[in-house]
Every structure is written in structure tokens, then in C-alpha cells.
Amino acid sequence: TTTTTTTTENTLSLAMIGVKKETGGALEDSHLVKGVAFKKTFSYAGFECQPKSFDDARVLALNVELELRAERDNAELRIKDPKQYQAFVDAEWKIIYDKLDACVAVGAHVVLSKKAIGDLATQYFADRGVFCAGRVVDDDMRRVCAATGAKVQSSVSKLDASVLGKCAKFEERQVGKERYNFFTGCAHARTATIILRGGGEHFIDEADRSLHDAIMITRRTLRSNRVVAGGGAIEMELSKHLRAHARTIGGKQQLIVGAFAKALEAIPRQLALNAGFDPTDMLNQLRQQHAHDDARGAWFGIDIDNEVVADNYAAHVWEPVLVKRNALQAATEAACVVLSIDETIKAQRAQADGSA
């Protein structure tokens, strides 16, 4: 059981879903990448000479700086012979070239690093037909590793093929005004990237929030494993049973249960209003379907696409039981808090002279 739970948590991790926003085009131009895609990072001279596409690419992920470090302003070096200074310079160049040689020798086609890859390394890789990208964001690097199976290395010493990731296709493509790096056909693909397009930033942000809500409700459904029909179906069915139960109760409690049943109809009514339908007509049709003694009308809700009431369970319009239960419980508690208030006091507006 523990293994299954851990696997489910890792599979449903939100960190494995990347959402990239690119202004321009229409919302219909948005697309899903079954793999990883991220915006081209900062590059130096020589980058355009690098190949931008590989089949069966091998990916090397690093957390190593591949550039010559600038000398510190307050650094002091005491030498007795000018040749000694040249020896220090040659040693520094040898260190960087040994790192670059190791990256190429391991057989990598794509070299990614969380830290900077300088102009020397960029030109070095270009001359040898290797693509490189430095300053890759940590979230993107994690998704690349999860998709390709690459292992981030903090050192280039003793590199071997086991640390390399693999993907069927790597390419750099234009998306809107920016260029993106795509890793697709990944054998360990547990990641996905959604590139959102739209005419403005506010429009894309709203699409991102709607997409996040859809992802979260799907994630919750996979976790809870129990669903009910949506579109106001479950609210109408609960309302029917509560109305029937209210008639078996004597006293004022009958009115309370009846009011609760009526309040549940606010959900399908609001759905009809939001869709531009006649809420009175829709509610009457729903009451008719749910009035059957058998269970054939229990899952009938509003079908927004066809402007009718239909079996939403058969149409795969589902909502998690856990979400519905929590929503009803929270609404009931809020109503009880409001009803428990006996009296309210309203302070008078302050006078111009400051007196109450």
C-alpha cells in the first residue's frame, strides 16, 4: 500500500506539469507537449552555429559552471617569474577544456546546466555539433530529468552513459515571438508542458487559472476515486430526497429542511443563467426527470452544449464526491454562523468636525 501511495503522489505532482505563457495568436493555438518545453535561455556568440534538432538525443544535465571565471578585484598573486603567471593562466584554460572534453566524450547531444555556459563553451560545443543551454530554470531542469531519465551532475569527472537522459526528438522551434526547446518522445515521460497562447496577458492569465482549476479537479478525482454527475444533477437529486424527507417531519424543522432543499437548487439555476438559458424552464425539466421513482433520472443535469437536460453521468460530466461533500459542509457551516447572529450594530458615520 505504501508503494502504491508514493507512486500516485509522484504521478500526480503538479510540479511535473509546466505551463508556459506566450502572447500572440489565439487561444486555439495553445497546445500540449507530451514532454518538456521551455523558453530558450540566454546565449552567447556561436549559439546560432549549433545544431537545433536531434533524433534519439542524449541529454546531459549539469549543475556546473562552464565558463572562465573573472578574476576577483581584490585578488593578489605573488610571483617571481612571468612564466609562473602564464602557468596559472594555462592551468585555468586546461580546467575548462577538460570539463568540455568530458561532456563531449560521454556522447551527449544536448548539454543543459543550471549555471552559466560561457561563450568559450558555446563555441566549443558548436564546433563539435552539440547543443547547449545554460541558466536553465530549476523547475524546467527537474521536468527534463523526469521525462528523459537524466541525472543532474555536480561534477563532470567520471561521467558515463548511465547519467544521460534520452528522448526520441529534440528541437528548437519558434513559438510566437520566442524560441522554445522541445523534448518529446521521452521514454520516462511523466511530465507534460502546456503552451498557452492568447491576445493579451490578462486573457492568458485567466486561461491559466481555469486550466489550473481543471487540473486540480482531475487530480482530486484520481485521488478520491468516487464521482457523481455534475451540471447540477446531484444537487437536484438531493433536493428531491430532502423535500420528501421534510414531509415526514413535524414542527418548524420541516420548514428548515424544505429551505435547505430549495437552496440546493441555486446551483443548477446559476449554471443555467451563466449559460444564457431560461433557469425556470431548466429547473422544471430537471424536477420532472428527478421525480421518477426509479433511478433513471437521478443523474440528469444541465447539458450546456445542447441547451437541454441530459444524463450527465453517461456524458462523463463528473465531479469528485470529496469536493461535493466539502462544498456542502462548508456552505452549511457558513449558513449556521450567519443564523447564529442575533443582532448587528451599525456605527453612525462620523461628523465633519470629527465627533461621532
Helix 82-105 with 119-127: angle, nearest 10 deg? 50
Residue 71 scores a pLDDT above 70? no
pLDDT of 1 reads: 31
CA distances from 96 to 64, 71, 99, 117, 324 (A): 11, 15, 5, 11, 59
- Which grid cell sits at 128? 563539435
State the distance between the two ends of the chain, measured CA to CA, in whole angstroms: 66
The Cα-based distances of 274 to 120, 302, 304 in angstroms read 59, 11, 10
Mean per-residue pLDDT, 8-21:
76
* Cα angle, residue 14 at apex, residues 8 and 17 outer, rounded to 5°: 110
Digit-coded pLDDT (tens) for 339-350: 888 887 777 777
* Tens digits of residue pLDDT in 156-172: 988 899 999 999 999 99
- pTM of the full structure: 0.71
Strands 227-229 and 318-320: antiparallel
For position 74, what pLDDT does the model report? 59
| Residue given cell 513559438 in the structure block | 175
The 10s digit of each residue's pLDDT in 120-157 is: 899 999 999 999 999 999 999 999 998 999 999 999 98
3 state SS of 17: strand
Average pLDDT rounded to a whole number, residues 197-207: 89
**Residue 152 β-bridge partners:** none
Q: What is the pLDDT of residues 276-330, one digit of tens each?
A: 999 999 999 999 999 887 777 889 999 988 889 999 999 989 889 988 999 999 9
Q: Return the half-sphere exposure (C-beta side, CA atoms, 13 A cut-off) of residue 84.
A: 5
- pLDDT tens digits, 73-108: 556 777 777 777 778 778 888 888 999 999 999 999
Burial 117-129 (b: 16+ CB within 10 A, else e): bbebbbbbbbeee
Whether the CB-CB separation of 170 and 182 falls below 8 Å is answered with yes
pLDDT in tens, 211-250: 998 888 888 888 878 899 999 999 999 999 999 999 999 8
